[in-house]
Chains A and B, each alone.
Chain A
Amino acid sequence: MGDYKKMWQDPNMDIEKHDILCAALPEQFGDIYLTQKNRPDAMNYFNYVVAEIHGARIMELEKYKKEGGSVVGTFCVFVPDEVILATKAIGVGLCSGSQFWIEDGEKVLPRNICPLVKAFAGAKIGLTCPYFQSCDMIVGETTCDAKKKAWEIMDEYMPVHVMELPQMKREKNIKEWEDEIKIFINRMEELTGNKVTVESLKKGIDVCNRKRRALKRLYDLRKNIPSPISGLDALLVSQVAFSDDPERFIEKTEELCDELEERVKELKPNGKKRIMVTGTPMALPNWKLHSIVEGLNAEIVVEETCTGTRYFENEVSTEGDTIDELVRNMAERYMDINCACFTPNEGRTEDIVKYAEEYNIDGVIYYNLSFCHTYAIEYEKIEKVLKEKDIPLLKIETDYSEEDTGQIKTRVEAFLEMI
C-alpha cells in the first residue's frame, strides 16, 4: 500500500490506531486468500482493491469531494443506490466486519447486540475508518432494533438520515416505502445540490441493474459442478461491490465471469460437498465462516445473505416516464427483498429451497451473527421446511472474534462427515 498518511493529516483520524488495522489486514488476507490454489487471474483486481482499501479508493473519494461531490455511507441493501447515483453522489457500503472495532463500539453500545452494529459504531467513534471520515452523511434504516437505536448515537457524531423501513409487505407498506424513497430523494438533493430528474434516475437504475446482472452472472457460474470459483473469492467480489466504483466493478466482474466461463469447460467434478450459506450479512473483512468451511473438503457455492443473493436478485424496471413511476418500480423491487426483519417472511424459505435445487446443494449452513434476533428466530421456520425436504442444516451462531474457531471447525467437519 502506498503512503497515504499525508492525506490523513486530517484531524478526524486516529492515525496510530488505524495503522494497527492496516498492518493486520494484509496478513489476514494473505493467510486466507492468497494461499488458495488455482485462483482465477481476474481476482487480481479484487486483491488490489483489498490492498488499497484504505488507499486508492479513499483517494478517489477525497478527490471527488474536493471537486464538490458528496459521499454517503450505507449499511443495508434496502438503501436505494439508484437515488444516490441520480444525485451524482458516491455511495459506499461501510464495512463493519472486523473485531477490531468492537471494543470502541462497546464504549457507547451494550455488549449484547449484533457485532455488525457495534463494529460500525466503533469504527466511527474510534476514528479508525477513513470511509466513515469521508462520508458527508450516513443513511440508516429501521430494520432491526439494534440499528434503529444506534442511529441516534451515530447522529451525535455525524449527519444521519434514517429511512423507515416497513416491517410487513402489504400494498400499504409498499406505498410507505415509496414515500420514504421520495423523502430520501429530497434529502439527497439538499445534500448535493443536484436535482433528480427522470433521466438521471433512469441512469442510476440502469447502473444498479447492470451491477446486479454482473453479480447474477457470477452466481450462475457457481452452479456448475464444481464451481469455477471458491466461495471465499465470490464473497470477496460481493463485499467489494458495496464500496467500489460501480462502472469499474461491473467491468471487472464481467471480466472475471468471462474467465470463469472458459474454466467451466475444463473442470471435472472434485467430490467436494456443495454448501449454501444463509443468514446474516458478512461485511468486509468477515471471512471467518468461509475460510473454515473451505479449509475442509467443501465449497460454498451460494450465499442467501445480503452479501449474496439478496443484494442482486430482481431488477428495478425502467418502465415509466415520471419520477413517481420510477419510485414505484424501486419500491416494488426493494420490498421484494426477503430479510428477516419482515413478518411474515415466507419468501426467504422459498428462496432457500429454490437455491438448494438450482445450486445442487448438499447441505445448508445457517449463519447467525450473535444477538441478531430476527434471523435467530426465523431459524425455526426454515429448519422445519428443510427437514421436510430432507436438506441437511447446521446452525452456527457467532461473532467476529476468533476464540470459537476451533469449535466451529469441529461442528462443520462433523456436518460434512454426516451429509
Chain B
Amino acid sequence: MNYIGIDIGSTASKVSVFKDDDLKLNIVMPTGWNSVDTSNKIKEELVKKGIDVEKSKVIATGYGRVSVPYAHKTITEITCHGKGAYYLAQEDLTVIDIGGQDTKIITVEDGNVSNFTMNDKCAAGTGRFMELMANTLNVSIDEMAQMALKGRNINITSMCTVFAESEVISLIGSGANREDIARGVVNSIIGRIKSLLNKHGVKGSLYLTGGLCELEPFIQLLSEEIGSEVKTGPLGRYAGSIGGALLAKNIEI
C-alpha cells in the first residue's frame, strides 16, 4: 500500500510517498496561483511515476490543504511537520519551520507535538521576507546567504517587511557594503526566530525544516546566533509531506 502526504504551502508544494515503511519518493513544485490546479498536477505527476493514487491513502496539509479533492483527510501543517521532523531526526526535538508565510516552533515529545508557537499576521522572519530582501538586493536567496557570511552586521531596525525593504533600499543608496546589508537581513530573520524560541522554550535538539534547509551559510549563522547546533538535512523541506504520509497510515478509508 502507498501512503501519500501532500503539503500545499504558500510558495511551494511538496509530496512524499511511502510504500509500506519505505520512503519512496519526494516531489517539490511551485504552488502557483491556484491550489486546486496544483493538486491536480501533483496527481498527474504521481500517476506518471507509477503510483496509483486511487488505491493509496492520502493526507493533505499546508495552507492549501482543503484544495486537494482526492485527499482522504486534512491535517494541519503543525502536526505533520512535527511527525515528519521526528521521522527525520529519530529523536524528540524542537522544530523550527520557516515557511513561506509563517514561522513555527514545534515541540515534539514522545514523537508527538506537545506545544507550538506560530508567528503569523506578519512576514517578518519568514521565507517570504528572505525572498523580498534578496530581490531588493538583486541576488538569489542562496547568494544572499553566501554574502551574509562575509558581511559585518548592519542593524535593520524595522520589524515590518515593507519598512525593512525601504531601509535596505536606502542602505544600498547610501553606498553601504552589500555583504553587510545581506548580513543585516539574515540577522533580522534570525533575531525574530530567536525571540520566538525564547518565548517558546527549547526541548531536545533543534531541527530546521522548510525551504531553507539546504542553505548552508544560513544554517551556520542560525546556529551561531542561537548558540547551539541547528540540525537539518536535505529532506527537511519535505517534513510536512513526510509527516502527512506517515499519518496517512493510521487513517481508515
Taking Cβ atoms with an 8 Å cutoff, the residues of A that contact B are: 404, 406-407, 410-411, 413-414, 417-418
Contacts and interface: CB of A to CB of B under 8 A. Distances in A.
Interface residues of B, number: 15
A407 B102 contact: yes
Looking at B76, B112, B113, the one whose CB has the most chain A CB atoms below 10 A away is B76
Contacts, number: 34
Nearest to B115: A418
A414 B79 contact: yes
23 contacts: A404-B120, A404-B121, A406-B63, A407-B102, A407-B118, A410-B63, A410-B76, A410-B78, A411-B78, A411-B118, A411-B120, A414-B77, A414-B79, A414-B113, A414-B116, A417-B75, A417-B76, A417-B79, A417-B113, A418-B79, A418-B112, A418-B115, A418-B116
Interface string B9-33: 0000000000000000000000000
B77 A410 contact: yes
Contacts of B116: 414, 418
Contacts of B40: none
A352 B121 CA distance: 28
A417 B82 CA distance: 12
A414 B74 CA distance: 11
Main secondary structure of the interface of A (DSSP, over half): helix
Nearest to B120: A407
Nearest to A413: B76
A361 to B, nearest CB: 17
Interface of B: 63, 75-79, 102, 112-116, 118, 120-121
Contacts of A406: 63
Contacts of B63: 406, 410
A407 B113 contact: no
Nearest to B76: A414
Given A413-B76, A414-B78, A417-B79, 5 more contacts: A404-B120, A407-B120, A410-B118, A414-B76, A417-B78
A178 B132 CA distance: 59
Q: Across chains A and B, which 7 residue pairs bring their CB atoms closest together, nearest first?
A: A414-B78, A414-B76, A407-B120, A417-B79, A413-B76, A418-B113, A410-B76
A406 B120 CA distance: 11
Contacts of B79: 414, 417-418
Contacts of A404: 120-121
Contacts of A418: 78-79, 112-116
A414 B115 CA distance: 10
Interface centre among A411, A414, A417 (most CB of B within 10 A): A414
Contacts of A413: 76
B203 to A, nearest CB: 13
Given A414-B116, A418-B114, A407 B76 contact: no
Contacts of A414: 76-79, 113, 116
Candidate in A404, A407, A418 with the most chain B CB atoms within 10 angstroms: A418
A404 B101 CA distance: 13
A134 to B, nearest CB: 37
A407 B120 CA distance: 7
A411 B118 CA distance: 8
Contacts of A410: 63, 76-78, 118
Nearest to B62: A410
A413 B75 CA distance: 8
Contacts of A417: 75-76, 78-79, 113
A418 B77 CA distance: 12
A385 to B, nearest CB: 16
A414 B97 CA distance: 15
Nearest to B65: A410
A407 B119 CA distance: 10
